[in-house]
């Protein structure tokens, strides 16, 4: 039952998102250096963090799929990666908007944080053609899990590599040694991060519920009308939940 608790989760998501937007608009002070444009921070950074964690979650489900052989975990892995890729698009677009307003350029190629995120995003963009290239559903699920684990392990390594690369351009607002965010900004950021995580989780649950309902409908159709010649399903990159 993927829909269990979905209503409560949806309400919590709406409440937290409204709270986050209210804090961004009315509570968080203007940044002394960047001014109003810094408000993008409360959208862009939580999006990036949730997208990267989502990729790792996809890898964890990949491990569970390989260990147990249950298709359910492949579906969870697929949906986690799928949602994180969508969030990744939002990260790149909002980041470019912020870069244009702050630095005067839509993209800066010598900035490790930007380029490394683009590499991670492009790597996950190959996940879809990779799945589509394999017709046998069992093999597709197995290979996709291996991809999810390998790419998921790359994400924290990539993050650490970027942190080690001392860049002068991209702000380091969570540096432990140099002060970091003031409390009002930190609170706004944490609520925004929670809201983004809840949006991601809610959408994942919606997608899984829809997939599960679709699978159950197919089972019901077969049970009701076993003689009916069902058209063979088109090759799909999305795992089917029966």
Partner 1 sequence: MPALPLDEAGKYVAGAYIVFLTLILIYVDIMAAKLQRIERELGELAEIAEQKRSGEQSESEAEEKAPSHV
Q: Which is nearer to partner 1, 122 or 217 (CB)?
A: 217
Mention every residue, 6+ apart, whose C-beta is less than 8 A from residue 105: 99
Q: How far is the CB of 190 from partner 1 (least distance, A)?
A: 18
Q: Which is nearer to partner 1, 48 or 149 (CB)?
A: 48
H-helix or E-strand containing 162?
helix 137-164
Mention every residue, 6+ apart, whose C-beta is less than 8 A from residue 177: none
Q: Which is nearer to partner 1, 39 or 172 (CB)?
A: 39
Q: Which is nearer to partner 1, 67 or 105 (CB)?
A: 105
Closest CA to 119 of 139, 94, 92: 92
Closest CA to 51 of 86, 26, 27, 25: 86
> Rounded to an integer, what distance in angstroms lies between the CA atom of residue 56 and that of residue 150?
10
Q: How far is the CB of 153 from partner 1 (least distance, A)?
A: 27
Do 99 and 108 touch, CB atoms closer than 8 A? yes
Q: Which is nearer to partner 1, 34 or 167 (CB)?
A: 34
Do 191 and 67 touch, CB atoms closer than 8 A? no
User: What are the contacts of 129-137 at 24+ separation with CB within 8 A?
Assistant: 131/78, 131/237, 132/235, 132/237, 135/235, 137/239, 137/240
Q: How far is the CB of 91 from partner 1 (least distance, A)?
A: 10
> Rounded to an integer, what distance in angstroms lies between the CA atom of residue 215 and that of residue 222?
11
Q: Which is nearer to partner 1, 154 or 200 (CB)?
A: 200
> Rounded to an integer, what distance in angstroms lies between the CA atom of residue 55 and that of residue 53?
5
Q: How far is the CB of 72 from partner 1 (least distance, A)?
A: 19
Q: How far is the CB of 67 from partner 1 (least distance, A)?
A: 30
Q: Which is nearer to partner 1, 65 or 211 (CB)?
A: 211
Q: How far is the CB of 100 from partner 1 (least distance, A)?
A: 7
- Which residues contribute to the site for partner 1 (CB under 8 A)? 31, 33-37, 39-40, 43-44, 47, 86, 89-90, 93-94, 97-98, 100-104, 199, 203, 206-207, 210, 213-214, 217, 220-221, 224-225
Q: Where are the beta strands (DSSP E) in the chain?
A: none
């Amino acid at each position: 039952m993927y829909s269990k608790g979905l209503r409560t989760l949806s309400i919590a998501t709406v409440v937290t998102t409204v709270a986050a937007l209210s804090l961004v608009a009315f509570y968080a002070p203007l940044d002394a250096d960047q001014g109003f444009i810094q408000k993008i921070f409360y959208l862009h950074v939580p999006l990036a963090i949730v997208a990267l964690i989502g990729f790792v979650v996809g890898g964890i489900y990949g491990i569970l799929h390989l260990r147990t052989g249950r298709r359910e975990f492949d579906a969870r892995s697929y949906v986690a990666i799928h949602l994180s890729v969508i969030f990744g698009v939002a990260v790149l677009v909002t980041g470019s908007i912020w870069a244009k307003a702050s630095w005067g350029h839509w993209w800066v190629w010598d900035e490790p944080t930007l380029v490394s995120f683009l590499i991670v995003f492009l790597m996950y963009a190959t996940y879809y053609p990779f799945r589509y290239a394999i017709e046998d559903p069992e093999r597709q699920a197995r290979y996709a899990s291996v991809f999810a684990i390998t790419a998921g392990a790359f994400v924290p390594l990539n993050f650490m590599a970027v942190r080690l690369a001392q860049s002068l351009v991209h702000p380091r607002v969570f540096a432990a040694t140099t002060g970091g965010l003031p409390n009002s900004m930190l609170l706004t950021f944490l609520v925004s991060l929670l809201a983004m995580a809840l949006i991601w989780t809610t959408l994942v649950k919606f997608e899984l519920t829809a997939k599960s309902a679709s699978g159950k409908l197919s089972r019901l159709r077969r049970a009701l009308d076993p003689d009916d010649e069902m058209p063979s399903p088109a090759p799909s990159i999305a795992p089917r939940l029966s």
